[in-house]
Amino acid sequence: MAKRGLRSLALALALPLSMTLANIYMFGRPGSVGQTFRNVSKPSWFPPLWLLHSMCVVFSLLMGLSAWLVWAEGGFHTKPRAAAMYLAQLGLSLAWDPVMFWMGASRVGLAVCLALLVSVFQCFRVFKNVNPIAGALVKPCLAWVGYLTAVNLKLVYL
């Protein structure tokens, strides 16, 4: 049983991590950032790309770990909404990089970011009822997505 638990934990961390790293490589590298985004005026508190992407990696690991804790408690079976919210936030977090950096579409990026904020908040609400530690792990992710939403909002209305 312990071996199976470790394998499932490794998978729960490796899948979102590898997708996030591939996403950063394809759409978030300085060489792949679109001209539109490069030309956008950014606020002084806009994070450098390396910090932004480092936080996305941490975010994917925390969300993967919290989802695994919910899964290990049987939460995906008893609360199917938990899996749906986790997959929604994963998809939205992967969509944000290409929309913002590759396409330079800050208004669409804001919509994606707002939807991501809602989905991470819903993950928090559902996860904390299944496993309080999983809910606690989502809190820093919620704060980070809130910050990204503020940055994105500033980019739209700068």
22-63 pLDDT tens trace: 988 887 766 666 666 667 677 788 888 888 889 999 999 999
3-class SS at 48? coil
105 in a structural domain? yes
Nearest Cα residue to 125 out of 74, 84, 77 = 84
Query: Does residue 6 carry a pLDDT above 90?
Result: no
45 in a structural domain? no
Whether pTM exceeds 0.85: yes
112-137: average pLDDT: 97
Domain count, the chain: 1
Are 130 and 82 in contact, with CB atoms under 8 Å apart? yes
152 in a structural domain? yes
41 in a structural domain? no
In the structure, how many helices (H) and strands (E) does the chain have?
Answer: 7, 0
Q: How far apart are CA 89 and CA 36, in angstroms?
A: 26
35 in a structural domain? no
42 in a structural domain? no
101 in a structural domain? yes
Q: How far apart are CA 30 and CA 101, in angstroms?
A: 9
Are 137 and 62 in contact, with CB atoms under 8 Å apart? yes
Are 82 and 127 in contact, with CB atoms under 8 Å apart? yes
Looking at residue 37, its pLDDT comes to 67
32 in a structural domain? no
Q: How far apart are CA 153 and CA 21, in angstroms?
A: 25
Q: Which domain holds residue 101?
A: 2-27+50-156
